[in-house]
Amino acid sequence: MPSPQGSATPTSVGSLSASDYTKKLGVPVPENANMDLLFAILEWMHVPYKFGGNDKSGVDCSGLINQVYPKVYKVVVPRIAADIRQKAQPVSRSALREGDLVFFRINTKEVGHAGIYLFNDYFVHASTSRGVMISKLDDTYWNKYFVGGGRFSN
């Protein structure tokens, strides 16, 4: 699948800098960002949303986490967003760091949406309307539904 800029997806992490990722992902990437994580995300950007999906033909939020998290952090997490939150060590919003998981309750009693925290309030997730994308926690919509963070040790 082409990258967001229309060129071929890169084949090695070392070949891209933070400024390259800033261009490809459309968000300001700090120099100290985890390039392995960004590379994994770039491979999934714009994959369409599919409930229960777990591959590049379509993926849901927990499917994305299940694909990216073990590859980058060598940690296997549960398949369902609510189960992921239940198994993760709770993390406050102010203590979030790269690789933590963020959880949302959108018009339900249970956590029904999750993403991977990146940096500077950005997180990656599989949106039902736009597929895999990067959003900001302080956006009005996400801020309204945010219920907490979680961390798995690797």
Return the active site residues.
Answer: 61, 113, 125
Using CA atoms of 135, 139, 140, 146 in order, give the dihedral in degrees to the nearest 10.
60
Beta carbons of 126 and 60 less than 8 angstroms apart:
yes
Rounded to whole angstroms, the Cα distance separating 115 from 113 reads 7
**What is the H or E stretch that residue 25 is in?**
helix 18-25
Beta carbons of 14 and 20 less than 8 angstroms apart:
no
Residue 104 structure tokens: 């949302």
Rounded to whole angstroms, the Cα distance separating 121 from 129 reads 21
Which residue from 77, 72, 63 is spatially nearest to 126, judged by alpha carbons? Answer: 63
- Crossing angle, helix 61-73 and helix 35-44, to 10 degrees? 150
